Chains A and B, each alone.
Chain A
Amino acid sequence: MSTLRHNTVDRLDRPSAYYQGKNKRRKYSQDDTEKAEEPVDHLKNATTLYVGNLSFYTTEEQIHELFAKCGEIKRLVMGLDRYNKTPCGFCFVEYYTHQDALDCLKYIGGTKLDERIIRTDLDPGFEEGRQYGRGKSGGQVRDEYREEYDPGRGGYGRAYADDQRRREEEEYGKGR
């Protein structure tokens, strides 16, 4: 472990821009800017990781096989479609120690599982309800509007696909 106060290259075991971004939005909405550092403290002893960009078909066993390389897994919660209760491409992995979670960010985040580059982010901890997608149609928000085809994540984005279908139907009607 590096003992320096400053590192000469970036560390991969920091909370992501996403987490910091959420924090920033909060900061801007409040008058008090001093609270900016506080959310980072939530992660001080975090043992949970949010894992994203999984294929809908990736199983718990596969996730386990890869993530156990960083330490024993305490709990694995699959992210599910709010309506269908089928995997929707993310999960929470909880380790026994904070160090294991950090190591996972450093060594596994950004590598491939099931032939997809996965994303890991330190998470303050799983709470009931967070296992469900928050998109309009039940999955993750990012899968609503995605314009490119991703066979591992249900094809086109759902809202995008609906939109597309409607447009095609209209066009078809015009042709007549």
Chain B
Amino acid sequence: MADYERRPHGPRGGRKRRYREDDDYDRRQRRRYEEPLIVKVRRQLLTIAESAARRAEDDAVSIAKSVADNYGDEEFRNSFVDIALDLVLEQPLKIPFIAAAVLIANFQKPELVSDVLNRSSECLQKYVDVGAWREVKLLLRFLGCLQCIFEGDGIFPVLEELFARAVDLQTASSEDLLGLELVKIILFTIPYVMASPAAGFESQATALLEKTDIIASTPHALVDLVNPFGPEDGKPTATQSVISLVQNQLQGESGQGWALVCLPRPWKGALEALNAQRTEEMQETQEAQEEGMDAAESTEAAEPKTYENGPKHPFPQITVPSPVKNGTRAIFPEVYLSVYANQDIETVPSTSDIASSLLRDALVDTINILDFNRIATAKFLIDVDCYFTPHTFVKRATPFDRLRDLPGDTQWKPEDVAVDAVFSQLFQLPSPEHKLVYYHSVLTECCKIAPAAIAPSLGRAIRFLYRSLETMDLDLSHRFLDWFAHHLSNFGFTWKWSEWIEDLELPLVHPRMAFITGALDKEIRLSFAQRIRGTLPDPYQDLITEGKEKDTPDFKYSSDTTPYANEGREIMQLVRKKAGDEEIQPVINAIEEQASSLGVEDPLLPSTDAFVTAICFVGSKSLSHVLSCIERNKERLLAIGPQSPRARRQIITSVMEYWVDQPGVGINIIDKLLNYTILTPLSVIEWALVDKLDAGNVLAKSHIFEMISATVGKVTNRLRQIVAARTQQGLYEPQLSVLDETLNREKVDMQALFKVIEDSIVSVAGGSNDELMERGDGSGNLPEDEIIRQWGQRWLRVFRRKAGVEESFIADAMATATPVGTVAPPASEENVVSEDAPVDGEMDIAEADASVDIS
């Protein structure tokens, strides 16, 4: 699988040889003439429901029969149990189908079902103990589908117990999120129980729902924090969390006899197939009898099997610890996002329909679990219609315009539902489970597998997001921009730019213009300016300036009109020939003396400018070049900051001005200068949000947001590393105090950083920024003024959230940390301290690679 598209086909290329080697690998297996039954059954189980061409119900019956017949074969038996549970945990879309196979097997070999239940119970207990709640949810879903084979109340007591824990947690703290997660598990289990063949549990389900209502429907304080759309006009929008949505939907279902239309019922078809098979067998037996042969079992087989009358098992014994704990995944409230909301045709289920939650939940788990094979993920997404009730969706790749003319009630497009689920993760706040690029790659693969079906869906999603730019959370609009450019880079940079031409009239600070310019810049970074220019209609051509096409930006000191031109050129020559400090210093002195005589307040600024600009110019060939230049002149650069904070910020100015047309290169260099500690995070923040605030205009520049986010991310990552070191097990004094001190010190620094961001933006957001007020007629009522105030509000929201998330991360982690003052138990002399704890190490810096320096 990992070998996909590895090389272009070549008659004599590397490909052919590799083919032969690959063959060697499994030649022994290929010699087999006939596939053993166990291999066939394994494959049948692994691929159950994957193909619309095969009936999953028949496969379920056939698998059950094969395994039951071969129950005595330990390998056969175990591989069924193993694969069934692996699938439950890794491919949640298949849970109802696995359950169907187990339900059928229950008629033939109840012992096999006991084995499955024992293994499920082991797994479930393990995941409950460590707090892996997604796995718990999936195992309970599986058991919920099997409800009809359990004695008594089956799954309900364990759901009740989870609810009791949720109540404890909620009572203990109003800010509790873990309790909400438990309620979510209960809510997402109920529909599968109610869709299962078990009958007569309506009152229990309704009673449980009445209890969860109070927790699920109470708005949580953090819901607004994760709302993809910011408050409009200062008023917070009423956002419903996912669990309160599901709660309502389930209450609706309970009033309508638990129709749960979209959930597949493969057990029905499987049972019919089983009974049909048995009738057939019986007839054969009767015919045999008529022919005078002996058949004793015929009376037993006459009754058709029903799920109610099948063998029963006790529900696995699960102990839910009190209090429960949370595993490694941080929990935040979730909000339902659809990029296909408000279309005139409903191509995805509306939030009033429980299908919206059930489809989303199963798809999102699939996406997040299978991050190790994006191609498999994409395949499942494309095949979504195989895993739900037939005719839940319209036919694949039905064009949007054609939906209106279709007979039937449903107009849900499988592609839209699938793509929507990926976007819900890409736009998950505060952050999704995996790196953003994973979700990019899933969309790319979907497009590769089914371009005709997926591309138009993506187009509509892009248009929705583009139209929402003004209200979308700033973090998300940045994610949108980054995805958009990256996605286009995988598909020849083709996009219908012509449809946004009108927006080119908008002011530069308008969110749409900011998006267009930001996206083009990102595209250029992944490609080059000339290439991107070629993909754009005429009206866009002016956005690709001549400067962007220059590989080496001009050296401003080449022009004699630039102050200190001679000295600048001289320094450049010295940097180029790798001159020593003693040769550079006199020229620096010359600039500073000249500046002093001209009355420049801080002569260090012009000398720093000349020096840094020279480094940028000499190193302009590539990142390696500039890094080796920086490396050679590190001491001098390091000495600038401590002399004058303004000169330190001059370094940033010089870099960003030299690379003004290619800001991506500039922020990359800034990033490395931070690693070298030539710059401090605070200096970067102050440079952008104080020195260059430009009455708030700077907030509309996407590369500035990128630069500030990256800088803040560096600080918070480091803090998280320190927290990890501080909270590791088996740590004792004196290390505890040392780490605790480091943690507290850096935490104060982080808070100071967030304070600077807050203070400088709050004035823009509130419209009280001096410069902002002095513009135009001074009224602050220009249309652009309002836009800039909104930029300020959107920035504030992002960084307040970031600050909050980090504070709560530290607080949560420290809640269970060994207290300061804990001494090692006297018995053991040696203290165990993990050696890889990144405690006091400076952030590692990229070494400039001399080997690439080929000039």
Contact = CB atoms under 8 A, between A and B. Distances in A.
Interface of A: 2-4, 6-14, 16-18, 21, 24, 53, 59-62, 64-66, 69-71, 73-78, 80, 85-86, 96, 103, 105-115, 117, 119, 128, 131, 142, 145-148, 150
B90 A4 contact: yes
A4 B323 CA distance: 26
A117 B7 CA distance: 9
B226 interface: no
Interface of B: 1-8, 10-14, 18, 21-22, 24-25, 46, 82-83, 86-87, 89-91, 132, 135, 369-376, 434-438, 440-441, 444, 486, 489-490, 492, 525-528, 622-624, 664-665, 668, 844, 846-847, 849, 851-852, 854
A9 B89 CA distance: 12
A-B CB proximity, top 4 nearest: A10-B1, A69-B437, A9-B376, A85-B854
A111 B622 CA distance: 23
A27 to B, nearest CB: 11
A128 B851 contact: yes
Contacts of A12: 1-2, 372-375
A76 B2 contact: no
Contacts of A16: 2-3, 6
A71 B14 CA distance: 31
Contacts of A13: 372
Nearest to B838: A96
Given A3-B132, A16-B2, A76-B623, A111 B490 contact: yes
B623 A61 contact: yes
Given A78-B624, A110-B5, A111-B444, 12 more contacts: A12-B374, A16-B6, A24-B24, A61-B622, A69-B435, A71-B435, A75-B846, A78-B622, A103-B434, A103-B438, A106-B372, A131-B851
Given A9-B373, A69-B486, A131-B851, A62 B525 contact: yes
Contact of A80 (B8, B372, B375, B854): B854
Given A2-B369, A9-B373, A62-B527, A107 B846 contact: no
A146 B87 contact: no
B623 A106 contact: no
Contacts of B438: 103, 106-107
A11 B90 CA distance: 12
B3 A17 contact: yes
Contact of B526 (A113, A119, A150): A113
A114 B289 CA distance: 75
A104 B22 CA distance: 24
A15 to B, nearest CB: 9
Contacts of B444: 111
A127 B267 CA distance: 59
Most chain B CB atoms below 10 A, which of A11, A96, A106, A150? A106
Nearest to B485: A65
A175 to B, nearest CB: 28
Contacts of B22: 17
Given A17-B21, A61-B623, A61-B665, A70 B435 contact: yes
B527 A60 contact: no
Given A103-B438, A106-B372, A61 B668 contact: yes
Contacts of A18: 18
A150 B22 CA distance: 26
A145 B374 contact: no
Contact of B8 (A2, A61, A148): A148
B828 to A, nearest CB: 28
Contact of B371 (A24, A53, A106, A108): A106
B851 A75 contact: no
Contacts of A10: 1-2, 373, 376
A128 B83 CA distance: 46
29 contacts: A2-B372, A10-B2, A10-B376, A12-B373, A12-B374, A21-B18, A24-B25, A60-B623, A60-B624, A62-B527, A65-B526, A65-B664, A69-B435, A69-B437, A70-B437, A73-B846, A80-B854, A85-B854, A103-B434, A105-B2, A106-B441, A107-B440, A110-B4, A114-B527, A128-B851, A142-B7, A147-B12, A148-B8, A150-B8
Contacts of A73: 846
A87 to B, nearest CB: 9
B135 to A, nearest CB: 8
A24 B844 contact: no
A111 B526 contact: no
Contacts of B3: 16-17
B90 A64 contact: no
Contacts of B441: 106-108, 111
B5 A8 contact: no
Nearest to A140: B14
A125 to B, nearest CB: 13
Contacts of B373: 7, 9-12, 106
Contacts of B86: 4, 6-8
Contact of B82 (A6, A128, A146): A6
A9 B526 contact: no
Nearest to A91: B852
A8 B436 contact: no
A115 B527 contact: yes
A61 B664 contact: yes
A117 B5 contact: yes
Contact of B90 (A8, A14, A61): A8
Contact of A8 (B6, B8, B91): B91
Contacts of B492: 115
Nearest to A109: B2
Nearest to A67: B437
B129 to A, nearest CB: 13
A76 B624 contact: yes
Contacts of B372: 2, 7, 11-13, 106
A144 B344 CA distance: 58
Nearest to A96: B844
Given A8-B87, A17-B22, A64 B668 contact: yes
A86 B852 CA distance: 9
A41 to B, nearest CB: 18
A65 B86 CA distance: 37
A131 B852 CA distance: 9
A147 B12 CA distance: 7
B142 to A, nearest CB: 14
A77 B847 CA distance: 10
A77 B851 contact: yes
A107 B526 contact: no
Nearest to A75: B846
Contact of B46 (A8, A62, A107, A110): A8
